[in-house]
Chains A and B, each alone.
Chain A
Amino acid sequence: GDSVTQMEGPVTLSEEAFLTINCTYTATGYPSLFWYVQYPGEGLQLLLKATKADDKGSNKGFEATYRKETTSFHLEKGSVQVSDSAVYFCALKLSFGAGTTVTVRA
C-alpha cells in the first residue's frame, strides 16, 4: 500500500543553518506529495505540495522536489529561523510519516 518514510528527529539547528528532512515514498501511480507543518499547540497546516513528477513545491523559503526516479520528496530550507521550530510531516493521500521535530536556536 501507499506509505511514506521520513527522517527521524529530533533535529536541532542554529539560526541561518541549512535544513534538510528526507522523505521517501511507496505508492501505486503518481499521487500528489505533501509536506505539512505543526507549530506548537496547533493542528497541521499545509506547507507545500507537488502534484506530479519533477514538480517543485515551495513556500516560506522551503522547497521540495517530487523525484520519481528516487521516490523521494526531501524538504529543504537554506537558512532557518527560530520561527521554523515545529514538527514536519511528509504525506501522500492519507498516509503520514512519523514527523520530524525541528528546533532552531538563536
Chain B
Amino acid sequence: DVKVTQSSRYLVKRTGEKVFLECVQDMDHENMFWYRQDPGLGLRLIYFSYDVKMKEKGDIPEGYSVSREKKERFSLILESASTNQTSMYLCASTPNGASTDTQYFGPGTRLTVL
C-alpha cells in the first residue's frame, strides 16, 4: 500500500528558530512536493522536486528551502521561522511527471510559530 509519512503531526516552534519538516515515501516515486494549507486559500505549492538533488520553486517559496538527498526523502526547511508560517504543511508524491498522476499525500504537520 502506498505510504507517505511526515515526521511530526504537531509542532510548536518559536520565532527565529530553524525548523525541519521531514517527508518519506515508500513508493519509489520520482516527484515530491511540499504544500501549505490555509483556510480559504486551499493548498499552495511551496517547492517540488523531480529527482534527487533537484528542486524547483513553487508559488510561495519565500522563507523556505528544501533538500532531497535521497529519492525517498524530501525535507522542508524554515531557515528562520516567523508567525506567518503557522500553517498545515502537506507533503505529496507522484510516480512521474505526467499530468494524469494522482498525488499521494502524507497526514500533514500542523506547525505553530509563537
Chain A residues in the interface with B (C-beta under 8 A): 31-32, 34, 36, 41-46, 49, 51, 89, 91-94, 96-99
Q: Does B107 sit within 8 A of A, measured CB to CB?
A: yes
Asked whether, in the complex, the Cβ of A43 is within 8 Å of the Cβ of B107, the reply is: yes
Asked whether, in the complex, the Cβ of A98 is within 8 Å of the Cβ of B4, the reply is: no
Q: Does B105 sit within 8 A of A, measured CB to CB?
A: yes
How many Å lie between the Cα of A34 and that of B45 in the bound state? 16
Chain B residues in the interface with A (C-beta under 8 A): 4, 33, 35, 40-45, 48, 58, 90, 92, 99-100, 102-103, 105-108
- B45: chain A residues within 8 A (beta carbon): 94
Asked whether, in the complex, the Cβ of B48 is within 8 Å of the Cβ of A94, the reply is: yes
B105 CB → nearest A CB, Å: 4
Asked whether, in the complex, the Cβ of A96 is within 8 Å of the Cβ of B42, the reply is: yes
Asked whether, in the complex, the Cβ of A51 is within 8 Å of the Cβ of B106, the reply is: no
Asked whether, in the complex, the Cβ of A89 is within 8 Å of the Cβ of B42, the reply is: yes
With contact pairs A32-B99, A32-B100 given, residues A45 and B42 touching in the complex (Cβ less than 8 Å) = no
With both beta carbons as reference points, the residue of chain A lying nearest to B97 in the complex is identified as A93
With contact pairs A43-B4, A43-B108 given, residues A89 and B43 touching in the complex (Cβ less than 8 Å) = yes
How many Å lie between the Cα of A46 and that of B100 in the bound state? 12
Contact of B43 among A31, A32, A46, A96 (CB under 8 A): A96
Contact of B105 among A32, A43, A49, A99 (CB under 8 A): A43
How many Å lie between the Cα of A43 and that of B41 in the bound state? 16
Asked whether, in the complex, the Cβ of A98 is within 8 Å of the Cβ of B42, the reply is: yes
With contact pairs A43-B4, A43-B107, A98-B40 given, residues A31 and B90 touching in the complex (Cβ less than 8 Å) = no
- A91: chain B residues within 8 A (beta carbon): 103
Asked whether, in the complex, the Cβ of B106 is within 8 Å of the Cβ of A43, the reply is: yes
Contact of A34 among B4, B44, B102, B107 (CB under 8 A): B102
How many Å lie between the Cα of A91 and that of B45 in the bound state? 12
- A31: chain B residues within 8 A (beta carbon): 99
How many Å lie between the Cα of A42 and that of B106 in the bound state? 8
- B33: chain A residues within 8 A (beta carbon): 94
> A45-B105, A94-B45 given. 15 additional CB < 8 A pairs?
A32-B99, A32-B100, A43-B90, A43-B108, A44-B90, A44-B103, A44-B105, A46-B102, A49-B102, A92-B99, A94-B33, A96-B35, A96-B44, A98-B40, A99-B42
